[in-house]
């Protein structure tokens, strides 16, 4: 019997979930749910989906076994938890939720339901990212890093939906929507830092409440520093990531990866060099990128389906998907409190801030 798959929220990314699964063996596109009947009808006709619902509770009462959550961010927690309580497997689009306290509730519900619960963070699969991941163990102890992430978005983009660009609907701007992918890549490579100090702002989007520019310093236990700069207002800049370890530096830029290996580890050279102005020699090497593994958005959905059908780990679990949100919330909290924020983020402090932002008691502009 094929796995009965359902999709909630079908106007945008929901179609990518349907396309990814329509010819996938072992899966049947069984049901769809959307509050806009015309969009729902068109979608179900296109993908030949037999069961259609404009009410999410009714959708969950159906025989659907897996739910793809493809609705706006503010619905992710509530709809995921309801699906988990109905014992459905859940694949939730990024970001997993708006706040880390919502994610805590999602994790609890997933643990109780004993089903598969995953988030969609397909950029972990990107061949250059995988290549960097395979090099991390060669870098040695983390020293420093730098990450430039730009995702230009016009005001027309924000006018596509009322939920966009608002604290209530998105829970943030470029950080939670676009750069959450970059932050996910960062935690995939280096895991969470212990402390975050950040500034966020709105430089150029007059019609939205949320940030379009952000800069942070992440610090790890051993004293390593990592600087990240994010915007949706700068154009023409490639994503650039540098990670330096005691033994080598890796650089990822424009889909290319190179590694520079030090002739002597940095700590040893600092301590033992008899020279005043010397530094370790670096030998740079371009690293070939293996593109043979699946890496697109659709692949991440099919890998989740495979984990249900064959057993095994989902590509990005709820616990993993939650980590980028920890950084998003930490950056916003650090800005508004004008102080460093420890990880894990203080849940009640962030909830109180988010409530004030939603009510307009605190503002960026
Ligand atoms: N993984 C990725 O790269 C990626 C790419 C795009 C979007 N996304 C994520 O997917 C989510 C949706 O984004 P989008 O661009 O498709 O948004 P969208 O606004 O285009 O589509 C959302 C759909 O949800 C429906 N909807 C709203 N409230 C609903 C409710 N209560 N019940 C059922 N349906 C409801 C809307 O009618 C609409 O059809 C976002 O969280 C976004 O971050 C992820």
Q: Which residues contact 114 (CB under 8 A, 6 or more apart)?
A: none
What's the sign of the alpha-carbon dihedral 103, 13, 331, 78? Answer: negative
Per-residue model confidence (pLDDT) at position 298: 97
Per-residue model confidence (pLDDT) at position 1: 86
Atom of ligand 1 nearest to the CA of 121: 1
Shortest-distance Cα residue to atom 31 of ligand 1: 35
Q: How far is CA 139 from CA 111, 129, 310, in A?
A: 35, 15, 35
- The greatest distance separating any two alpha carbons of the chain, rounded to the nearest whole angstrom, comes to 76
Per-residue model confidence (pLDDT) at position 295: 84
Shortest-distance Cα residue to atom 5 of ligand 1: 13
Per-residue model confidence (pLDDT) at position 215: 98
- Looking at the fold, whether 163 and 310 belong to one and the same domain comes out as no
**Is the Cβ atom of 244 under 6 angstroms away from ligand 1?**
no
The verdict on residue 140 lying in a domain is yes
- How far, in Å, from the CA of 8 to the mean position of ligand 1? 8
**Is the Cβ atom of 72 under 6 angstroms away from ligand 1?**
yes
Q: What is the phi-psi region of residue 205: left when phi exceeds 0, alpha when psi lies from -120 to 50, beta otherwise?
A: beta
The verdict on residue 101 lying in a domain is yes
**71, 73, 126: which to mutate for ligand 1, most atoms within 8 A of CB?**
71
Shortest-distance Cα residue to atom 14 of ligand 1: 12
- Looking at the fold, whether 160 and 76 belong to one and the same domain comes out as no
Note down the domain range covering 128. 124-293+324-358
The verdict on residue 17 lying in a domain is yes
- Looking at the fold, whether 239 and 145 belong to one and the same domain comes out as yes
Shortest-distance Cα residue to atom 16 of ligand 1: 12
Per-residue model confidence (pLDDT) at position 44: 98
Atom of ligand 1 nearest to the CA of 300: 1
- Looking at the fold, whether 46 and 170 belong to one and the same domain comes out as no
Is the backbone peptide bond immediately before 95 cis, with ω within 30 degrees of 0?
A: yes
The verdict on residue 364 lying in a domain is no
The verdict on residue 15 lying in a domain is yes
Shortest-distance Cα residue to atom 7 of ligand 1: 13
Tell me whether strands 142-150 and 240-245 are parallel, antiparallel or unpaired.
antiparallel
- Looking at the fold, whether 47 and 171 belong to one and the same domain comes out as no
Task: Specify the CATH number for the domain of residue 21.
Answer: 3.40.50.720
Per-residue model confidence (pLDDT) at position 294: 82
The verdict on residue 363 lying in a domain is no
- Looking at the fold, whether 143 and 254 belong to one and the same domain comes out as yes
CA atoms within 13 A on the CB side of 207: 12
- Looking at the fold, whether 245 and 188 belong to one and the same domain comes out as yes
**Is the Cβ atom of 15 under 6 angstroms away from ligand 1?**
no
- How far, in Å, from the CA of 84 to the mean position of ligand 1? 19
Q: How many domains does the chain have?
A: 2
- Looking at the fold, whether 186 and 278 belong to one and the same domain comes out as yes
The verdict on residue 352 lying in a domain is yes
Per-residue model confidence (pLDDT) at position 365: 72
**56, 74, 93, 174: which to mutate for ligand 1, most atoms within 8 A of CB?**
93
pTM to 2 decimal places: 0.97
The verdict on residue 7 lying in a domain is yes
Tell me whether strands 117-120 and 89-93 are parallel, antiparallel or unpaired.
parallel
**Is the Cβ atom of 217 under 6 angstroms away from ligand 1?**
no
Shortest-distance Cα residue to atom 20 of ligand 1: 12
**Is the Cβ atom of 349 under 6 angstroms away from ligand 1?**
no
Per-residue model confidence (pLDDT) at position 219: 98
How far is Cα 180 from Cα 173, in angstroms, rounded to an integer?
A: 10
- Looking at the fold, whether 57 and 27 belong to one and the same domain comes out as yes
- Looking at the fold, whether 228 and 332 belong to one and the same domain comes out as yes
**Is the Cβ atom of 355 under 6 angstroms away from ligand 1?**
no
- Looking at the fold, whether 78 and 197 belong to one and the same domain comes out as no
Task: Specify the CATH number for the domain of residue 165.
Answer: 3.30.360.10
- How far, in Å, from the CA of 320 to the mean position of ligand 1? 21
Count the helix, strand and coil residues of the chain and give each as a percent rounded to the nearest 5. Answer: 40, 25, 40
- Looking at the fold, whether 332 and 185 belong to one and the same domain comes out as yes
Shortest-distance Cα residue to atom 39 of ligand 1: 11
**Is the Cβ atom of 270 under 6 angstroms away from ligand 1?**
no
Atom of ligand 1 nearest to the CA of 39: 39
Residues in the chain predicted with pLDDT less than 70, given as ranges, are none
């Amino acid at each position: 019997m094929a796995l009965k798959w359902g999709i909630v929220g079908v106007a945008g990314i929901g179609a990518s979930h349907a396309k990814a699964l329509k010819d996938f063996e072992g899966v049947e596109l069984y049901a769809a749910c959307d509050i806009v009947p015309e969009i729902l009808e068109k979608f179900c006709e296109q993908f030949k989906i037999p069961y259609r619902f404009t009410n999410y509770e009714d959708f969950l009462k159906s025989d659907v076994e897996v739910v793809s959550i493809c609705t706006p961010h503010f619905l992710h927690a509530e709809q995921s938890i309801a699906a988990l309580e109905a014992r459905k497997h859940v694949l939730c689009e990024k970001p997993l939720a708006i706040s880390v306290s919502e994610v805590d509730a999602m994790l609890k519900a997933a643990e109780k339901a004993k089903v598969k619960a995953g988030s969609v963070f397909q950029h972990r699969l990107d061949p250059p990212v995988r290549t960097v991941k395979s090099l991390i163990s060669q870098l040695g102890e983390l020293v420093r890093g730098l990450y430039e992430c730009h995702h230009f978005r016009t005001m027309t983009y924000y006018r596509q939906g009322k939920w966009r660009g608002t604290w209530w609907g998105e829970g943030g701007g470029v950080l939670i929507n676009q750069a959450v992918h970059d932050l996910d890549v960062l935690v995939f490579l280096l895991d969470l830092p212990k402390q975050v100090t950040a500034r966020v702002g709105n430089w150029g989007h007059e019609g939205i409440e949320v940030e379009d520019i952000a800069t942070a310093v992440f610090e790890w236990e051993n004293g390593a520093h990592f600087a990240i700069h994010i915007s949706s207002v700068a154009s023409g800049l490639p994503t650039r990531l540098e990670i330096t370890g005691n033994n080598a530096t890796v650089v990822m830029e424009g889909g290319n990866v190179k590694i520079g290996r030090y002739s002597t580890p940095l700590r040893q050279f600092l301590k033992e060099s008899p020279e005043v102005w010397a530094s370790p020699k670096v030998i740079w090497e371009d690293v070939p990128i293996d593109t043979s593994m699946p890496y697109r958005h659709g692949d991440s959905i099919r890998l989740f389906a495979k984990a249900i059908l064959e057993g095994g780990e989902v590509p990005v679990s709820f616990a993993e998907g939650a980590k980028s949100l920890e950084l998003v919330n930490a950056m916003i909290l650090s800005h508004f409190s004008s102080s460093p924020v420890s990880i894990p983020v203080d849940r009640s402090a962030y909830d109180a801030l988010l409530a004030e932002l939603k009510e307009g008691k605190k503002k960026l502009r």
